């Protein structure tokens, strides 16, 4: 096939930011479907519309998901992307790789697919971008042999993901990498065989900075925290003060609960422990001087998701503090009950957050057996529309 011209896309090879067009072109050098992708994309740039059809159901043996089927609506003109599926490869915790591992993946992908990837997808999978139906099974087989497995897609558990946590961060309050790996391993069936009303996402952040954006994107967000008080190293406070940091202005005045008092004379910082809401701000600004408490664990929040259908929901607090120690039994027992409840009550394509909103938190808490605590809400209800259970009223 003669090379088509891609003047529009070529424009996107200019400029300082690395160019995905250049990347597609690199792959196109030895791969026909990458070449067709380039041309089809140019076509979209001309037409101002996508040229992909709804995906059909394609996959590999034993799996209900992990592959997004994709076909162009212009197969005659772009035959090499007539089938152009992606495979979601479950990435290792916190996206750490050895180069040899990555090379193995590249080799497999060079053989069987377009040679194009997304490193990584928004959920955190490594994405093999574009392959034919016939290549799916062999690609999977080789991936599996190399120690990899598929990520989630469809109405199932999606690949959990986590922040870099204790691997490289002083703020981590629990082992995000281990929880991510442990849950992923424990829930292989839920991950690979769609079984629920809709998708379910876990994300783990080691502290309230939430570096995997769990609270916005995960049905279950596990966010590191501590139960006791922040620890302050006054020598380091002095050092920061002497280095010119405006401790009053940049730290104390921005503490959301005004829990910090700075003594200008002594150059000392003190916390009113019970007022601190563990927001991480002071620790962020003065990492050498302030750090989390010693009694560490996580806050469990539920219900995060994006806009479709009922509006976006941010995850909200369900368990203010839970110890995070292997084998994470408390967490898993709770998750099992929540999934059962969701499965029993959820409508098709109803995320957990929407379901709880529809049925009411009260009902959810009662039926799942979680104790109500004020940390679950910013503030109590403004309406007086309380349900009274039969056993609390006078007969």
Partner 1 sequence: MSKIDGGPPDYKKLLPPIITENYGQWKYHEIPRAGVLKHVSEKGDTLYSVRVGSPRLVSIDYIRDICALADSYCDGYLRFTSRNNVEFLVSDEGKVEPLIKELEAKGYPIGGVGNALSNIVHTQGWVHCHTPATDASGIVKAVMDDLYEYFGRTDLPAKLKVAMACCLNMCGAVHCSDVAILGVHRTPPRVDHEKIRKGTEIPTLVAACPTGAIRPDPKNKSVVVNEERCMYCGNCYTMSPAMEILDAKNDGIAILVGGKVSNARTAPSFSRLVIPFLPNNPPRWPEVTAAVRHIVETWLNNARKGERVGEWIERIGWERFFSLTEIPFTDKHIDDFIFSRETFRTTAAFKY
Q: List b or e across 152-165, with b for residues whose CB sees 16 or more CB atoms inside 10 angstroms.
A: bbbbbbbbbbbbbb
Q: Give the alpha-carbon dihedral of 158, 163, 165, 169, to 10 degrees.
A: 180
Position of minimal CB gap to ligand SRM: 121
Nearer to partner 1, 28 or 335 (CB): 28
Q: What is the DSSP string of 217-258?
A: H-SEEEEEEESS--EE-HHHHHHHHHTT--IIIIIGGG-TT-
Could you give the 3-state DSSP secondary structure of residue 157? strand
For the bound state, the minimum distance from the C-beta of residue 276 to ligand SF4, rounded and expressed in Å, comes to 3
* Spatial contact of 259 and 275, defined as CB atoms under 8 Å apart: yes
x/- track of binding to ligand SRM for residues 66-105 (CB under 6 A): --x-x---------------x-x-----x-----------
Nearer to ligand SF4, 27 or 282 (CB): 282
Give every CB contact of residue 162 below 8 A, 6+ residues apart in sequence. 93, 94, 176, 177, 179, 180, 203, 204, 205, 206, 212
For the bound state, the minimum distance from the C-beta of residue 220 to ligand SF4, rounded and expressed in Å, comes to 16
Range in contact with ligand SF4 (rule: CB under 6 A) among 24-32, 128-136, 203-211, 345-353:
203-211
Binding to a second copy (CB under 8 A): which residues in 287-316?
A: 307, 311-312
Instruction: Select the residue interacting with a second copy from 57, 382, 393, 394 (CB under 8 A).
Output: 382
Say whether residue 303 binds ligand SRM (CB under 6 A): no
Nearer to ligand SRM, 88 or 132 (CB): 88
Binding to ligand SRM (CB under 6 A): which residues in 121-140?
A: 121-125, 127
* Spatial contact of 300 and 324, defined as CB atoms under 8 Å apart: no
End-to-end CA distance of the chain: give it in Å, rounded: 84
Instruction: Select the residue interacting with ligand SRM from 112, 217, 278, 296 (CB under 6 A).
Output: 217
Q: What are phi and psi of 29, to 5 degrees?
A: -55, -40
Tell me the sheet residues that pair with 205. Answer: 223
CA distance linking residue 308 with residue 198, whole number of Å: 12
Nearer to ligand SF4, 260 or 368 (CB): 260
Residue 376 contact partner, candidates ligand SRM, ligand SF4, partner 1, none, CB within 5 to 8 A by sort of partner: partner 1
For the bound state, the minimum distance from the C-beta of residue 323 to ligand SF4, rounded and expressed in Å, comes to 17
Element (H, E) at 335: helix 329-345
Say whether residue 16 binds a second copy (CB under 8 A): no
Position of minimal CB gap to ligand SF4: 206
Say whether residue 156 binds ligand SRM (CB under 6 A): no
CA distance linking residue 243 with residue 248, whole number of Å: 14
Q: Give the alpha-carbon dihedral of 336, 340, 343, 346, to 10 degrees.
A: -100
For the bound state, the minimum distance from the C-beta of residue 285 to ligand SRM, rounded and expressed in Å, comes to 7
Instruction: Select the residue interacting with ligand SF4 from 129, 237, 241, 259 (CB under 6 A).
Output: 259
Greatest CA separation found in the chain?
85
Residues that bind ligand SRM (CB under 6 A): 68, 70, 86, 88, 94, 118, 120-125, 127, 151, 159, 163-164, 169-171, 201, 209-211, 213, 217, 284, 305-308, 351
State the residues that interact with a second copy by CB under 8 A. Answer: 307, 311-312, 382-385
Residues that bind ligand SF4 (CB under 6 A): 163-165, 169, 171-172, 205-207, 209-211, 224, 230, 255-257, 259-260, 271, 276-282
């Amino acid at each position: 096939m003669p090379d088509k011209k891609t003047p529009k896309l070529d424009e996107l090879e200019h400029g300082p930011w690395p160019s995905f067009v250049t990347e597609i072109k690199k792959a196109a050098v030895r791969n026909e479907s990458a070449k067709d992708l380039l041309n089809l994309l140019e076509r979209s740039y001309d037409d101002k519309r996508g040229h992909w059809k709804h995906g059909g159901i394609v996959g590999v043996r034993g799996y209900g998901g992990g592959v997004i089927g994709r076909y162009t609506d212009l197969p005659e003109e772009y035959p090499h992307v007539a089938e152009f599926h992606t495979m979601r490869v479950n990435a290792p915790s916190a996206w750490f790789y050895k180069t040899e591992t990555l090379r193995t993946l590249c080799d497999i992908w060079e053989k069987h697919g377009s040679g194009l990837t997304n490193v990584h997808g928004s959920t955190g999978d490594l994405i093999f971008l574009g392959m034919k139906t016939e290549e799916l099974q062999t690609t999977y087989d080789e991936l599996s042999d190399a120690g990899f497995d598929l990520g989630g897609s469809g109405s199932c558990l999606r690949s959990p993901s986590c922040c870099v946590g204790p691997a490289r961060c002083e703020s981590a309050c629990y082992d995000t990498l281990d929880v991510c790996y442990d849950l992923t391993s424990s829930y292989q069936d839920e991950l690979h065989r769609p079984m629920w009303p809709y998708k379910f996402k876990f994300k783990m952040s080691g502290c309230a900075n939430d570096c995997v954006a769990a609270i916005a994107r995960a049905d279950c967000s596990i966010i590191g925290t501590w139960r006791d008080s922040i620890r302050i190293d006054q020598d380091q406070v002095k050092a920061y003060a002497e280095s010119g940091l405006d401790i009053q202005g940049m730290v104390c005045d921005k503490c959301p609960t005004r829990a910090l008092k700075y003594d200008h004379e002594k150059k000392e910082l003190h916390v009113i422990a019970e007022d601190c809401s563990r927001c991480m701000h002071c620790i962020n600004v003065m990492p050498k001087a302030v750090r989390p408490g010693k009694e560490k664990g996580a806050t469990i929040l539920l219900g995060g998701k994006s806009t479709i259908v009922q509006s976006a929901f941010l995850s909200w607090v369900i368990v203010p503090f839970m110890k995070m120690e292997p084998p994470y039994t408390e967490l898993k027992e709770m998750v099992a009950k929540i999934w059962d409840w969701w499965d029993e009550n959820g409508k098709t394509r109803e995320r957990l957050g929407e379901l709880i909103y529809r049925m009411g938190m009260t009902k959810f808490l009662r039926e799942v057996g979680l104790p109500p605590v004020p940390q679950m809400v910013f503030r109590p209800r403004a309406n007086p529309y309380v349900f009274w259970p039969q056993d609390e009223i006078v007969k």
